[in-house]
């Protein structure tokens, strides 16, 4: 069975894109290898995103903020899909992606901006994770070898 590489992009690569990477890589379909990166990567993963990624069984050694420049290098994995998950990254000039992958914007509010208790913050991160999971679940149901950017963009939650 072919595995599809999917790169989730966000500005700092510390929360939403990390959750996308973890969810795609651990998806029960086995169809995806998730990656994530940012245009201005941070120095660490948000602890709430890290806890959720570990809870779903993602390998802690893979949790690090990465620049999207890593994925534009000649020896980088070739992406089948590129998904921006924050409005800032969606509006930025992205690097050239070899192989012309299908692209989409699945915008989610930044859970790291939530003010309040740790419980409030956990709930915000969990809501983003649930939204991403629903979209990845829907994506897994589509004929992936025939998918284009228009179709990928329209993957909505039920």
In 3-state terms the chain splits into helix, strand, coil percentages (rounded to 5) of 40, 15, 45
Given the residues 7, 10, 19, 53, the one annotated as active site = 10
Can you say whether the dihedral through the CA atoms of 59, 23, 14, 12 is positive or negative? positive
Strand partners of residue 90: none
Residue 85 lies in a domain: yes
CA distances from 44 to 18, 35, 50, 139, 155 (A): 11, 16, 10, 29, 30
Annotated active-site residue 19? The verdict is no
Count the domains in the chain. Answer: 1
Tens-place pLDDT, residues 75-88: 999 999 999 998 76
Kindly state whether residue 158 falls inside one of the protein's structural domains: no
Please answer whether residues 14 and 44 qualify as being in contact, where contact means their C-beta atoms are separated by less than 8 angstroms.
Answer: yes
Name, in order, each residue with C-beta under 8 angstroms of 80's C-beta and a sequence gap of 6 or more: 4, 5, 6, 99, 101, 102, 144
- The band of 100, judged by pLDDT with boundaries at 50, 70 and 90, is confident
- Answer for the pair 76, 129: CB distance below 8 angstroms, yes or no: no
10 catalytic per annotation? yes
Domain of residue 38: give its range.
4-153
Whether 90 has a pLDDT exceeding 60, the answer reads no
Residue 148 belongs to a domain with what CATH number?
Answer: 3.40.50.2300
Report the pLDDT value the prediction gives residue 149, as an integer from 0 to 100.
60
pLDDT tens digit string along 31-78?
Answer: 999 999 998 998 999 999 999 999 999 999 999 999 999 998 889 999
128 given a catalytic annotation: no
List the catalytic residue out of 33, 94, 138, 140: 94
- pTM of the model as a whole: 0.91
Residue 31 placed within a domain: yes
């Amino acid at each position: 069975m072919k595995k599809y590489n999917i790169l989730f992009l966000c500005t700092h690569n510390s929360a939403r894109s990390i959750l996308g990477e973890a969810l795609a890589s651990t998806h029960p379909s086995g169809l995806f290898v998730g990656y994530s990166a940012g245009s201005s990567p941070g120095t660490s993963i948000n602890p709430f995103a890290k806890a959720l990624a570990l809870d779903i069984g993602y390998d802690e050694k893979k949790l690090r903020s990465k620049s999207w420049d890593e994925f534009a290098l000649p020896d980088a994995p070739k992406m089948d899909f590129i998904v921006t998950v924050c409005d800032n990254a969606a509006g930025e000039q992205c690097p050239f992606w070899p192989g012309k992958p299908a692209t989409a914007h699945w915008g989610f509010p930044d859970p790291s901006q939530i003010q309040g208790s740790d419980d409030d913050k956990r709930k915000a991160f969990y809501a983003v994770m649930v939204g991403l999971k629903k979209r990845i679940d829907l994506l897994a149901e589509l004929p992936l070898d025939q998918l284009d950017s228009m179709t990928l963009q329209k993957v909505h939650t039920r």
